[in-house]
Amino acid sequence: MKTVKKAELHVHLEGTTTPALVKKLAANNGAELDPSTFKSDGEFSWSDFWDFLRCYDKAAAAIQSKDDYRAVTYDYLKRCALENTIYVETFSSPDHAADAGISYTDHLEGIAAGIDDARRDFGIEGRIIVTCVRHLGPEKANSVAQKFVEYPHPYVVGFGMGGDEAQYHPKDFAPAFYKAHDAGYKTTNHAGEFGDCQSIRDTLTHLPVSRIGHGVRAIEDPNLVSELAERQIPLELCPGSNIATGLYDGYEQHPFDQLKQAGCVVTLNSDDPPFFATSIGKEYERVAAVNGYDEQIMRQITINSLKSAFCDDALKEKLIAAV
Ligand code: ADE
Ligand code: ZN
């Protein structure tokens, strides 16, 4: 699959930071890292999804300046470009930046500088989806949405939400999502990962989303799969992430192909690659191998992603032509 051009729509920027980069940034910043962040082999240490979210926060705390955000972005886009990825839409979390003392605009400018540098050096294109964190609650989500509309940036193309789906209800975040939507932006919400079909249905009912983050557990309700297929709502599927966090035993058991066969718009993504021992290139290799997909099918998955991207049409058309 090396020659297949790839695109990614669902990856958390703080979650792309490798253990080596986390340690380097912490050392440069004179910051003390919680030793429980790493296992004895140097990889990130976490035991289940909720512990992963805590580990993510500890690792993200090493990112402490605008230039750190530039470095994290550049490092990730470089790794993606080396796997023949041409476009990455990354989630960024102003709440994590704020916790490290970085302003909303500085964090965006850092990421944008990383995108510019990676484009110059590797030809890869990047855009940003600003995300709030569900378990931090609706008030924090509203203030992220407020900053989002107050400080537009040409690389910021959408608004999203990650975090613990078990906390609060999608309708609690309707004001934040509608603020972004009414300002002309597309939105996406994590639903149907550790939440069930109802979480996806509630998202579709209460939030103006154009895509679903994960959505994989729609497979538990054939009527919901049919609805997603009929409405052609793209699913940001992340098989390696779902396997690492224990939702499925392996790629063989992951319903990627079932959702695809049912007519859903499937896209393939890495979520938090160093935490889940994956990369966008590995996801393409593994999903293709397990399902017997040839290069043409994998190219179609890239095109699904590009058609579902939140960037402008001119960029989409240029990228699709390159595939
Ligand atoms: N934040 C970072 N990764 C996440 C995931 N897989 N699900 C929910 N929130 C996240
Ligand atoms: Zn995610």
Among all bound ligands, the one having the nearest atom to the CA of 165 is 1
pLDDT at position 160 is 98
pLDDT at position 111 is 99
Within 6 A (CB) of ligand 1 lie 12, 15, 56, 162-163, 190, 193, 241, 271-272
CB 258 within 8 A of CB 237: no
Which token pair is 132? 């709030």
Spatial separation of the C-alpha atoms in residues 145 and 72, rounded to whole Å = 23
The DSSP 8-state label assigned to residue 279 in this structure reads -
Among all bound ligands, the one having the nearest atom to the CA of 93 is 1
Residue range 243-268, pLDDT digits in tens: 999 999 999 999 999 999 999 999 99
Spatial separation of the C-alpha atoms in residues 205 and 288, rounded to whole Å = 33
* Catalytic member of 8, 83, 193, 236: 193
10 CA to middle of ligand 2, Å? 6
Q: What is the pLDDT along the chain (323 residues), one digit of tens a residue?
A: 899 999 999 999 999 999 999 999 999 999 999 999 999 999 999 999 999 999 999 999 999 999 999 999 999 999 999 999 999 999 999 999 999 999 999 999 999 999 999 999 999 999 999 999 999 999 999 999 999 999 999 999 999 999 999 999 999 999 999 999 999 999 999 999 999 999 999 999 999 999 999 999 999 999 999 999 999 999 999 999 999 999 999 999 999 999 999 999 999 999 999 999 999 999 999 999 999 999 999 999 999 999 999 999 999 999 999 99
CATH 3.20.20.140 corresponds to the domain 6-316: yes
pLDDT at position 181 is 98
Does residue 32 have an active-site annotation?
no
CB 266 within 8 A of CB 260: yes
CB 275 within 8 A of CB 52: yes
61 CA to middle of ligand 2, Å? 18
| Closest to 268 measured CA to CA, from 253, 281, 277, 252 | 281
- Please report, for the chain, the start and end positions of each structural domain, with discontinuous segments joined by +: 6-316
Phi, psi for 53 (deg, rounded to 5): -60, -35
Atom nearest to 93 CA in ligand 1: 1
- The pTM (predicted TM-score) of the whole model is 0.98
pLDDT at position 122 is 98
Cβ neighbors of 261 (< 8 A, separation 6 or more) are none
CB 11 within 8 A of CB 80: no
* One-letter identity of residue 241: S
321 CA to middle of ligand 1, Å? 31
116 CA to middle of ligand 1, Å? 26
* Angle at alpha carbon of residue 11, lines to 249 and 147, rounded to 5°: 140
CA 22 from chain centre, in angstroms, equals: 19
